[in-house]
Amino acid sequence: MSAEILPHVKIRMSKSNEDKRSLRPAAVRKTRSSRSAESPDSGLGQYGKQRKKQSDSALAQDLRQMSVSGPGDPTSSEEKQLGQHQNSPPVAKSAGGLASVVRLMKLGRCKNVVVVTGAGISTASGIPDFRSPGTGLYANLEAYDVPYPEAIFNVDYFSNDPQPFFSLAKVLYPGSHRPNYIHYFIRMLHHKGLLLRVYTQNIDGLEKLCGIPDDKLVEAHGSFVTASCHLCYTPYPAEEAKRAIMNGDIPSCTFCAATVKPDVVFFGEDLPQKYFLHTKDFPKADLLIIMGTSLQIEPFASLVNTVRSKVPRLLLNRHAVGPFQRVPLRRGDHVELGDLENTVRRFAEMLGWNDDIVELMKSLEQEQHIPTLVNGTSGTGGEDESDSETDSKCSASSCPSN
């Protein structure tokens, strides 16, 4: 969430000290780009150049004879409420769906599960996604005076004017939100010994907060945990950067005097080195679960196409996205559309995990002295949003974590 960088901006490297000082081979360099920012009317202007869209003709050949399950009859009022509009691509219906994936898991066929997530998994925690009309982050940036929504997360624009991002960062900094049921479902996959890795576009840190170990987590769009100079990459104390930003100041590099920012990945920046674990993880996966993402941010969005052709892929989302919009779809693909938290809860109940997840939520949050968030708020009841992402780098990426 590759792109050309203005001459005065150096290539962004991974966040480790060794990688910051040396160029990664061109063959494996990946920068974040947005499909929505590639259209001719995206208004990139002087701060960014048009990105070339990746061809998916090869993908089209793979997506044949696929069966997908929907939440019901495509003509029913229920499905219309789930976002199936008349101008949306049709979604194929099959008798399998979520039950088929549950059956495979209960039979022990899914021992290396890879989970791909976007901002939609965090909306139930009160964090807005990026692209939902009216409520998404990009729909509410008028106060930040940027020429187009993604500019606030564009490294070239930031180099010219960091203040809009720092104003928004005050809202994005982790600490005021709690993990929800969806995060703990992923944590339970680890607890059951089934989680190979979770790849998230979010920068809200909620995966770590719910207890997912660092070695099981790839924060593809970085995080607020560390900070560094955006030009020379010299590390900067993260707490000092946060304090400056919260006070309305602009932190400066002690080495080159350029602007310091949290190590969240902007459009036009390289993804962290840990992202490249995907070259081993996705070929090894025997189940891919995709949740709360619009699959709009590259190269993250293309990860879902790198599992083996016979590996089942399960999309849990408000809307069909990416390859799951095509009919017919690849055999072994399944779609469950609707409110994400409700869908994940139903998934857990079918697996017989719901009680375990609720107990895990209570025990871990008591240890951390955090009020339990079981149904979208403390205690029971409360607001329960979810979305298609969404992307994010931050949960508000996902950005620019999906």
Q: What is the pLDDT along the chain (402 residues), one digit of tens a residue?
A: 333 333 333 334 334 444 444 434 444 456 655 554 333 333 333 333 333 333 333 333 332 333 333 343 333 333 333 333 344 445 544 445 899 999 999 999 999 999 999 989 999 988 866 555 555 455 456 666 677 777 888 888 899 889 888 888 887 788 878 999 999 999 999 999 999 999 999 998 999 999 999 999 999 999 999 999 999 999 999 999 999 999 989 999 999 999 999 999 998 888 999 999 999 999 999 999 999 999 988 899 999 999 999 999 999 999 999 999 988 888 899 999 999 999 999 999 999 999 999 999 998 877 766 554 444 444 333 333 333 333 333 333 333 434
pTM above 0.75, yes or no: no
For the segment 274-304, what is each residue's pLDDT rounded down to a tens digit? Answer: 999 999 999 999 999 999 999 988 899 999 9
169 φ, ψ to 5°? Answer: -60, -30
Give the CA dihedral 192, 198, 204, 210, nearest 10 degrees: 10
Extract long-range pairs of 302-310: CB within 8 Å, 24+ residues apart: 302/54, 303/116, 303/199, 303/278, 304/116, 305/56, 305/59, 305/62, 306/278, 306/282, 307/114, 307/282, 307/283, 308/283, 309/62
User: Torsion over CA of 131, 135, 137 and 140, rounded to 10 degrees?
Assistant: 120
Q: What are phi and psi of 52, to 5 degrees?
A: -85, 130
Active site residue 221: yes
Question: Which of 183, 190, 221, 319 is flagged as catalytic?
Answer: 221
The total number of residues written for the chain in this structure: 402
